Chains A and B, each alone.
Chain A
Amino acid sequence: MSESNKDPGIMSQLHKTFFAKHWPVWVGGIVLGTLNILLFAIKSPWGASGGINNWGENVYALIGVFNLENAAPLGTSFYGMLCLFLVLGSFIGALLSKEFALRIPPKGELIKGFIGGSLMALGATFGIGCTIGAFFSGMPAMSGGAIIFTIGLFIGVIIALKYLMWELEKFPKFSSGKSYNFLAGTGKSGVWQKWLGWIVLIITFVIAYQYSGGNKIMAWFIIIGMLMGLVSQRSRFCIVKAFRDPFMTGEADGSVGVMTGLMVGLFGFTIIKYFGIGVGDIALRAREMTWVFPHFFFRAAIGGFIFGIGMTIAGGCAVGTLWRVGEGQVKLWASALGFLLISPISKLYIVPPIVDSLPQSWDFKSFLPDYLGYPGAFALITFIILIWYVFVKWNEKTGKFSAY
């Protein structure tokens, strides 16, 4: 009898392990890096801006503008669905930890969210990728363009952070004023959040199961997307934070979490590419070149720069925006809206005329093992991550580059 009495305690302990406190960011990094490898093993690596672009195309197709009737319906787009279930996964994580609430910020913050999201859309369409596709997946994919994109991001983040500090100094009222908070799960009356969390989790598995007959890959994209959202929410995995915080408060945990995910991804991606795992009917070369985009160097540099500004103003990159949408942060709803509305317009009308006027030699696919071999490319990426690690840890101690 005493054994069975303990059962609820054990289950509640298990629930607490995952949902009572936030996870260390490096734990999130390890799990997200692993899930990214799984995505690559079954199809192709993690990406976020393509999925949000698909949402935007579907919105315009519904309205009947920009001749986007032929856009892939959301239910058939792997990355559109990955992003959708990432939002739902974060929603589940927030509900199960009773952290969900509709948080409506002051007006100025909503404006910044929308502008930041729009800039991210411009950056992602010009740079061919976002902080996920062209960085968190691009670096492990050993793409030379990813390194350039990362440098662009850094510069964009630093400039936008300077702007935020200036705004706070000169126009503090812009981020102050009326705010609202609805549906919070505080106390016993918030227990509905836990129940709803379990219900949405079950619905996710039912939808994945529905797909499993005809489209096995989609079934797994749904499950992995959900897990990515849940893990990101619990560990507060945020690429803006990784780039920004060393220059703001000097804190390095967010950066180390992202580095962990990069290293895990690097091992997995290298093995997949080197052995041609999952090559199927396509040529080995095509498998090797997966997530190596034709943006070395110009498009990556400019795209990364614009994206870096956008994500810092919005307070979330593509994925940071998505999981905060699921948590109920309405500023990031504005960011997602700006992103999805501007992305198709930029892709159709803004980027092509600019790209057509650029010399071809400015933008090509640079696969690092072509120049350095697999060992050299692996060592280079590891070395870059190591340098970044030493910098953020040194800066955390000395505060040399932090503003506060």
Chain B
Amino acid sequence: MDIKIDETLDCKGLSCPMPMMKLAKAMKGMNSEEVLEMIGTDPGTKSDLPRWCGKTGNTLLDESELAGGVFRFLIKKK
């Protein structure tokens, strides 16, 4: 699955609410159909992010766990 990533947001080490605040701010500056890669370590993001996507209409394309407890999300802007 080849997805073109337009921007990457590093939220490693951050805890709630910073990852969601940074994500919302980054998405504001992106164009429709662009894809943001977000990486972080807060387990809370695993529940917060899909809910937020559901609410805002953005699409969560992929969610995976990398080595060392790092979560990676790919989000396409509405």
Question: Chain A interface (Cβ within 8 Å of chain B)?
Answer: 22, 94, 99, 101, 103-106, 109, 164-165, 168-169, 175-176, 179-181, 184-187, 236, 238, 240-241, 244-245, 248-251, 253, 315-316, 324, 327, 329, 331-332, 396, 403-404
| Cα separation A253 to B21 with both chains bound (whole Å) | 17
Inside 8 A of A404's CB, which chain B residues have their CB?
21, 24-25, 28
- Beyond A22-B47, A103-B42, is A329–B52 a contact (Cβ under 8 Å)? no
Q: Are B67 and A249 in contact (CB under 8 A)?
A: no
Q: Are A109 and B18 in contact (CB under 8 A)?
A: yes
How many whole Å from B6's CB to the nearest CB in chain A?
A: 19
What residue in chain A is nearest B13 (Cβ atoms)?
A179
How many whole Å from A114's CB to the nearest CB in chain B?
A: 14
- Beyond A186-B69, A251-B51, is A179–B28 a contact (Cβ under 8 Å)? no
Inside 8 A of B67's CB, which chain A residues have their CB?
186-187
Question: Chain B interface (Cβ within 8 Å of chain A)?
Answer: 10, 12-18, 20-22, 24-25, 28, 41-44, 46-48, 51-52, 55, 65-70
- Beyond A315-B17, A324-B15, is A329–B66 a contact (Cβ under 8 Å)? no
B25 touches which of A168, A238, A253, A396 (Cβ 8 Å):
A168
A-B residue pair count with CB separations less than 8 angstroms: 99
| Cα separation A404 to B49 with both chains bound (whole Å) | 13
| Cα separation A106 to B14 with both chains bound (whole Å) | 8
How many whole Å from A14's CB to the nearest CB in chain B?
A: 21
Q: Are A248 and B21 in contact (CB under 8 A)?
A: yes
Q: Are B69 and A185 in contact (CB under 8 A)?
A: yes
Q: Are B18 and A103 in contact (CB under 8 A)?
A: no
5 contacts between A and B (CB under 8 A): A168-B21, A175-B22, A181-B69, A248-B20, A249-B52
- Beyond A22-B47, A329-B42, is A104–B21 a contact (Cβ under 8 Å)? no
A104 touches which of B10, B13, B17 (Cβ 8 Å):
B13
What residue in chain A is nearest B10 (Cβ atoms)?
A176
| Cα separation A179 to B13 with both chains bound (whole Å) | 5
What residue in chain B is nearest A105 (Cβ atoms)?
B13
Inside 8 A of A241's CB, which chain B residues have their CB?
16-17
Inside 8 A of A168's CB, which chain B residues have their CB?
21-22, 25
Inside 8 A of B48's CB, which chain A residues have their CB?
249, 251
